[in-house]
Amino acid sequence: MIIVSGSSSRNLADDLAQRLNLEHVRATSRKFPDGECYVRIEKETIDEEVIIVQNSYPNDMLVELFLLQDAARNLGAKKIINVIPYFGYARQDKTFLKGEAISARVMVKHLDLEADKIITVDIHTPKIIEWFGKATAIDVHAAECIGKYFINDGIDLVLAPDQGASGRAKAVASVLGSTWDHLLKTRLSGTEVRITPSNVEAGGKKVLIVDDIISTGGTIEAATRELRRLGAKAVYVACTHGLFISGALERLKKSCDKIVATNTIEGEVSMISVAPAIAAAFQ
Ligand code: R5P
């Protein structure tokens, strides 16, 4: 088995290769002058199974992923295992208005054509995993890696911004041996959320908010405001997928005491590696 990384996931692939004791080939990736993607896996042949580590977000990374699947097949790969740390387009899993596409289903259909196995990390809508037909698919979780990262930080309370995310808060809290709870969130628009004033006991506590995605940062900003109102001593924030669009990271750095993400999306604060969780799926 070898590991091939695309340009979204070089560090994570390095870490994974070390843990699994496998060769890591960094695929060449560049753009033509017109913006089209080009990839090349510099090997004579691949006469084994290949693990391709590459996100399906943003759009260029998605195209790169499809090209890497094809390049690996062309070199003779026996089996293609796609590790997709951040699975893009997972949020539209149904039509909300007549005439829309079901984006998540489109992604699944096309990835399924070449993949034999798919591994995702904290996919936004877990039921999507069941839509793969040919490929076997599993979703692994970042909670243990996140919990271990904060093990020496004296966290008193782990908090989910909404009820739907409370399983993640509970899993992180069980690693830390702390209590957990959730706030109540209502989404008002793409960028605005309202956190309902709650009776969470945060006074004088060091609180860690955990979420799967930070996109515009609206959710975390509102949650942080509520925790300050409740008298929290410190507000730490961790997410699996740090998209941080429209200057969200700079804004959140001002409102939280500490903010980190995992390396499903590699960036300035992606301090937590999810390689242990992915490696476990190969054991
Ligand atoms: C929502 O279902 C997700 O779990 C996140 O809470 C959401 O994607 C965060 O988005 P934003 O940072 O834009 O508030």
Query: SS3 of 104, please?
Result: helix
157 within a domain of the structure (yes/no):
yes
Are residue 7 and residue 137 in the same domain, yes or no?
Answer: yes
CA of 108 from ligand 1 middle (Å) equals 22
Q: Which residue is catalytic, options 78, 94, 134, 185?
A: 185
Which of 92, 214, 225 for mutating ligand 1's site (highest number of atoms within 8 Å of CB)?
214
Nearest to 181 by CA among 216, 212, 156, 204: 156
Over the stretch 58-101, which tens digit does the pLDDT of each residue have?
Answer: 999 999 999 999 999 999 999 999 999 999 999 999 999 999 99
What are the distances in angstroms from CA 13 to CA 28, 43, 185, 190, 219?
14, 17, 35, 32, 30
Are residue 169 and residue 130 in the same domain, yes or no?
Answer: no
- C-alpha span between 220 and 182 (Å, rounded): 13
CA of 220 from ligand 1 middle (Å) equals 8
Task: Tell me which of 112, 141, 170 is where a domain ends.
Answer: 141
pLDDT range class, residue 198, cuts 50, 70, 90: confident
274 within a domain of the structure (yes/no):
no
185 within a domain of the structure (yes/no):
yes
Nearest to 6 by CA among 73, 83, 77: 83
Query: Which structure tokens are listed for 142?
Result: 């970042």
282 within a domain of the structure (yes/no):
no
CB atoms within 10 A of CB 246: 13
CA of 228 from ligand 1 middle (Å) equals 20
Are residue 109 and residue 127 in the same domain, yes or no?
Answer: yes
Are residue 85 and residue 11 in the same domain, yes or no?
Answer: yes
Are residue 66 and residue 121 in the same domain, yes or no?
Answer: yes
Are residue 61 and residue 101 in the same domain, yes or no?
Answer: yes
Q: What is the CA radius of gyration of the chain?
A: 20
Are residue 17 and residue 137 in the same domain, yes or no?
Answer: yes
* Residue 77 φ/ψ region, left for φ over 0, alpha for ψ in the -120 to 50 degree band, beta for the rest: beta
DSSP H helical ranges for the chain = 10-20, 59-74, 103-112, 143-149, 166-176, 218-229, 248-255, 275-280
Which of 86, 219, 251 for mutating ligand 1's site (highest number of atoms within 8 Å of CB)?
219
Are residue 150 and residue 95 in the same domain, yes or no?
Answer: no
Atom of ligand 1 nearest to the CA of 216: 13
Are residue 76 and residue 12 in the same domain, yes or no?
Answer: yes
268 within a domain of the structure (yes/no):
no
What average pLDDT does the structure give for the chain? Answer: 96
Over the stretch 5-27, which tens digit does the pLDDT of each residue have?
Answer: 999 999 999 999 999 999 999 99
Burial annotation 87-103 (CB, 10 A radius, 16+ → b, else e): bbbbebbeeeeeeeebe
The distance of Cα 11 from the centroid of its chain, to the nearest Å, equals: 14
Nearest to 276 by CA among 182, 138, 141, 113: 141
The answer to whether residue 185 is catalytic is: yes
- C-alpha span between 15 and 274 (Å, rounded): 9
Are residue 75 and residue 160 in the same domain, yes or no?
Answer: no
| Structural domains in the chain (count) | 2
Burial annotation 160-186 (CB, 10 A radius, 16+ → b, else e): bbbeebbebbbbbbebbebebbbbebe
The confidence score (pLDDT) of residue 194 equals 87
Q: Is the pLDDT of residue 187 over 90?
A: no
pLDDT range class, residue 193, cuts 50, 70, 90: confident
180 within a domain of the structure (yes/no):
yes
Q: Is the pLDDT of residue 197 over 80?
A: no
279 within a domain of the structure (yes/no):
no
Q: Give the domain extent around 120.
A: 2-141
Nearest to 49 by CA among 96, 107, 4, 108: 4
> Token match 């799926």: residue?
281
| pTM (2 d.p.) | 0.96
Angle formed at CA 202 by CA 198 and CA 205, multiple of 5 degrees? 170
Are residue 14 and residue 134 in the same domain, yes or no?
Answer: yes
Are residue 151 and residue 71 in the same domain, yes or no?
Answer: no
Query: Which structure tokens are listed for 148?
Result: 């271990």
Ligand 1 site, residue 165, Cβ cutoff 6 A: yes
Task: Tell me which of 113, 141, 169 is where a domain ends.
Answer: 141
63 within a domain of the structure (yes/no):
yes
CATH number at residue 155: 3.40.50.2020
Ligand 1 site, residue 212, Cβ cutoff 6 A: yes
